[in-house]
């Protein structure tokens, strides 16, 4: 005969049910709230910004969390766009970042747009949302303002997301030459056993470092003869591409650096020989960690027929699949991942060949 007596668990279940509102009250009013998301600094002066970012651990061991809410353990690439015009190739970069599901949550974007230009720079939308634009300042070619802007981008990326492990500087005239997946795998070379081991020391920075240049002496003395001494001797002075990909460790080292920055920010007496943005990063990193640098950049530039120090500009009539394949070719270990300089009217033909050529590795 089956017993009809009430279950002995009913009083306990009833007590738990009645206690739920009380538990929720204590959880929301007594327990400490979750930590707020990291926010990009808007009003910090450069010195405070650099000091704040330079205190961040170069090898985070805790579970990273972005201000956008990500708790992804995989390392990310921070793309640093430096521009004084509209981001003319934003639709192409949109396809690059969102071309396949594997790219999601593996990158961050930061844009430094010169706020002093006559025509206000537009926010493209998509992956280039308003919160991706950092507080910018005026930039002028051939001045230390471009170094400061790059450092500003790096500092914001360091503070924003501890998962950022590579920092790639790009201009509005740059285009990708491969898919995001190809770039990511090239930089990290991760397999399933390495994903959980996030260590920046095994990576190298892709930065051009040249010690043989016919104009090196003029560039060295552009601020006056021997002004760079004693911080930078002539045999330590280097030149390289303005556009690079730095490891997190090197990025923080750059933000901590003070001595060379004071010298490179001095005004130039001979502007025609002064390109601080092509000297500072290459000189500093070659002095402190040459073995940690590849010595070459991932951005292809054609200096044939250069005009007033500007590289060759590609126009629509020059675009073809053969050009993309040729721009990828490199004399170094890795192929080129980006290329510049392209005119704005190249966008449509580049979009037409994006899926079949550019992002087909």
Q: List, for residues 230-288, the tens digit of each pLDDT value.
A: 999 999 999 999 999 999 999 999 999 999 999 999 999 998 899 999 999 999 999 99
Minimal CA–CA distance to 85: which of 45, 124, 119?
119
CB 91 within 8 A of CB 182: no
Residue 110 falls inside a structural domain: yes
What are phi and psi for residue 113, nearest 5 degrees?
A: -110, 125
% of the chain residues with pLDDT over 90: 69
pLDDT at 23 over 50: no
Residue 14 falls inside a structural domain: no
Minimal CA–CA distance to 280: which of 239, 230, 231, 226?
239
pLDDT at 52: 87
Residue 8 falls inside a structural domain: no
CA–CA gap between residue 347 and residue 361 (Å, rounded): 20
CA–CA gap between residue 204 and residue 130 (Å, rounded): 31
pLDDT at 66 over 50: no
CA–CA gap between residue 75 and residue 199 (Å, rounded): 9
**pTM to 2 decimals?**
0.83
Residue 303 falls inside a structural domain: yes
CA–CA gap between residue 182 and residue 334 (Å, rounded): 11
CA–CA gap between residue 335 and residue 353 (Å, rounded): 19
Minimal CA–CA distance to 227: which of 287, 278, 268?
268
Minimal CA–CA distance to 242: which of 270, 215, 276, 219?
276
CA–CA gap between residue 136 and residue 283 (Å, rounded): 25
pLDDT at 40 over 90: no
**What is the maximum span of the chain, computed from C-alpha positions, in angstroms?**
108
Looking at the 3D structure of the chain, how many domains does it have? 1
What are phi and psi for residue 2, nearest 5 degrees?
A: -80, 130
pLDDT at 191: 45
Minimal CA–CA distance to 154: which of 60, 64, 234, 49?
49
Residue 27 falls inside a structural domain: no
| pLDDT bucket at 225, cuts 50 / 70 / 90 | very high
CA–CA gap between residue 336 and residue 297 (Å, rounded): 8
Q: What six digits make up the tokens of 123?
A: 């926010």
User: Which DSSP symbol is given to 331?
Assistant: S
CA–CA gap between residue 96 and residue 92 (Å, rounded): 6
Residue 112 falls inside a structural domain: yes
Residue with tokens 């396809």: 95
Residue 215 falls inside a structural domain: yes
What are phi and psi for residue 228, nearest 5 degrees?
A: -75, -15
| Average pLDDT of the residues in 114-140 | 95
What are phi and psi for residue 8, nearest 5 degrees?
A: -70, -15
CB 329 within 8 A of CB 161: no
CB 155 within 8 A of CB 131: no
**Is cis: bond before 305, omega within 30 of 0?**
no
Burial class (CB in 10 A: 0-12, 13-18, 19+), 266: middle
Domain range enclosing 86: 46-61+71-358
pLDDT tens column, 297-355: 999 999 887 777 789 999 999 999 999 999 999 999 999 999 999 999 999 999 999 99
Measured between alpha carbons, how far is residue 234 from residues 63, 103, 221, 228, 230 in Å?
Answer: 44, 43, 9, 8, 10
Residue 4 falls inside a structural domain: no
| Average pLDDT of the residues in 1-22 | 49
Could you tell me whether strands 293-295 and 245-247 are parallel, antiparallel, or unpaired per DSSP bridges? unpaired
């Amino acid at each position: 005969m089956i017993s009809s007596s009430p279950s002995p668990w009913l009083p306990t279940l009833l007590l738990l049910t009645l206690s739920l509102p009380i538990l929720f009250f204590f959880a929301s009013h007594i327990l400490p709230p979750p930590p707020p998301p990291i926010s990009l600094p808007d009003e910090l002066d450069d010195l405070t910004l650099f000091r704040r970012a330079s205190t961040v651990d170069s090898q985070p061991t805790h579970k990273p969390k972005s201000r956008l809410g990500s708790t992804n353990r995989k390392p990310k690439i921070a793309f640093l766009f430096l521009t004084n015009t509209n981001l003319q190739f934003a639709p192409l970069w949109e396809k690059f970042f969102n071309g396949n599901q594997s790219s999601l949550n593996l990158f961050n974007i930061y844009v430094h747009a010169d706020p002093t230009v006559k025509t206000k720079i537009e926010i493209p939308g998509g992956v280039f949302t308003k919160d991706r634009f950092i507080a910018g300042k005026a930039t002028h070619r051939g001045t230390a303002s471009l170094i400061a802007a790059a450092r500003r981008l790096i500092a914001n990326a360091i503070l924003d997301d501890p998962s950022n492990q590579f920092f790639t500087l790009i201009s509005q005239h740059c285009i990708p030459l491969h898919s995001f997946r190809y770039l990511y795998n090239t930089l990290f070379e991760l397999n399933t056993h390495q994903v959980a081991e996030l260590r920046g020391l095994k990576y190298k920075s892709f930065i051009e470092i040249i010690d043989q240049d016919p104009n090196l002496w003029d560039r060295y003395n552009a601020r006056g003869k021997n002004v760079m001494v004693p911080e930078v001797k002539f045999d330590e002075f280097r030149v390289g591409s303005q556009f690079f990909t730095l490891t997190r460790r090197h990025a923080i080292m750059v933000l901590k650096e003070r001595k060379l920055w004071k010298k490179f920010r001095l005004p130039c007496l001979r502007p025609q020989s002064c390109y601080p943005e092509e000297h500072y990063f290459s000189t500093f990193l070659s002095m402190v960690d040459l073995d940690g640098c590849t010595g070459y950049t991932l951005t292809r530039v054609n200096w044939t027929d250069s005009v007033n120090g500007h590289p060759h500009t590609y126009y629509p009539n020059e675009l073809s699949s053969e050009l993309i394949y040729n721009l990828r070719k490199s004399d170094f270990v890795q192929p080129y991942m980006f290329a510049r300089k392209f005119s704005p009217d190249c966008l449509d033909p580049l979009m037409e060949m994006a899926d079949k050529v550019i992002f087909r590795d």
